Amino acid sequence: MKKIVVVFAVFLFVSCEINVELEFDQETFNTQRQLWQASNVKDYQYQLSACGFASYDGIIIVENGKYKENIPSYADYPDGYYEGSNYIIKSYSTIDEIYKTIEDTFKRTNNKKQPVNDIYLSGISVKYDKANHIPIEIHYEYHYPVFNAVVMDGTFDYYISNFEKNGQ
């Protein structure tokens, strides 16, 4: 009988879900996004660095508000490097796309049920450039259960630097 009670208690704990409200300063995010959009900058470039399982480090060039090309800083790609960075380049290919990616991630994961014993997104922190109103650091923060021995790998940190307006 004791075994049945223990198994039932473990089953209940394992199957529990919680509603996760992400830590995210949505008000500052919306304000900075509006200021960026009001600046109407269409031609620019920036250094994008993404650290993690799929990494990227290079210059993104934008013309007329559209992604034009990227210039990776690595002379030779390690095996699989370029393929792994396609998502990063697509999702962070313009400042508007960066804002959209952050917003989509927030909407997709905020206020959703998550298993207590699983890894899940718990917060998004963004640091902004005060002059240009662009994100310069983006960090996706995850909850890791104490008893979970699995190592999670991914790309959670993005850095935007050397922002330059072109032809203005």
User: Is 72 domain-assigned?
Assistant: yes
Q: How far are the Cα atoms of 84, 146, 163, 164 from residue 56, in angstroms, in the given order? A: 9, 30, 17, 19
User: Is 5 domain-assigned?
Assistant: no
User: Is 6 domain-assigned?
Assistant: no
Flag whether pLDDT at 10 surpasses 50: no
What's residue 15's pLDDT? 57
What's residue 145's pLDDT? 72
Q: What's the total number of domains in the chain?
A: 1
User: Is 40 domain-assigned?
Assistant: yes
User: Is 1 domain-assigned?
Assistant: no
| pLDDT tens-digit readout, 103-129 | 999 999 898 888 877 778 889 999 999
User: Is 30 domain-assigned?
Assistant: yes
Q: Write out the residue range of the structural domain in which residue 94 sits.
A: 25-165
pTM across the whole model: 0.80
What's residue 118's pLDDT? 78
Residues 88/50, Cβ–Cβ less than 8 Å: yes
User: Is 4 domain-assigned?
Assistant: no
Residues 91/57, Cβ–Cβ less than 8 Å: no
- Using DSSP, state whether 85 is helix, strand or coil: helix
Q: Given the structure tokens 């905020």, which residue do they identify?
A: 110
User: Is 8 domain-assigned?
Assistant: no
Work out the average pLDDT over 72-95. 68
Q: Alpha-carbon distance 168 to 165, whole Å?
A: 6
pLDDT: is 155 or 143 the higher one? 143
